[in-house]
Amino acid sequence: MSDAPVTRRYVMACTEADFHRLLPAAIGPFSYDAARRCFSGGTPDRSWQLCLTDAGERRIALWHMPLTEVIFTFTGYTDPDIEALLRRFFMYFQRGGG
């Protein structure tokens, strides 16, 4: 484990409302800074932050899906802990498909 923050970036086809709806089950309790569009949580020993920025939209003919860049920052987490948290996060944000 390192004290240096670890950052992971993803582009997701989700809206900010999706994060407010799904994040409590995916990660647990958090605080939200609306001005920065950042969610954060953790314990005194380790913390995480998830910030959102607009990444445009994906268009196919008349269909369009908003894209959001998701920037995770982990402090005090081991690599296996980060991977476990991200697996759980993506499990809750996974969308069904045909």
Q: What is the pLDDT of residue 77?
A: 95
Distance of alpha carbon 56 from alpha carbon 1, whole angstroms:
35
In a domain, 98, yes or no: no
In a domain, 28, yes or no: yes
pLDDT digits (tens, 9 = 90+) for 70-85: 999 999 999 999 999 9
pLDDT surpasses 80 at 2: no
Domain count, the chain: 1
In a domain, 22, yes or no: yes
Residue 3 per-residue DSSP state: S
- Token pair for residue 12? 């997701």
Distance of alpha carbon 70 from alpha carbon 13, whole angstroms:
10
Distance of alpha carbon 83 from alpha carbon 95, whole angstroms:
20
In a domain, 24, yes or no: yes
pLDDT digits (tens, 9 = 90+) for 19-71: 999 999 999 899 999 999 999 999 999 999 999 999 988 888 988 888 999 99
The domain in which residue 26 lies consists of 6-93
Assign residue 68 the CATH number of its domain: 3.30.1370.80
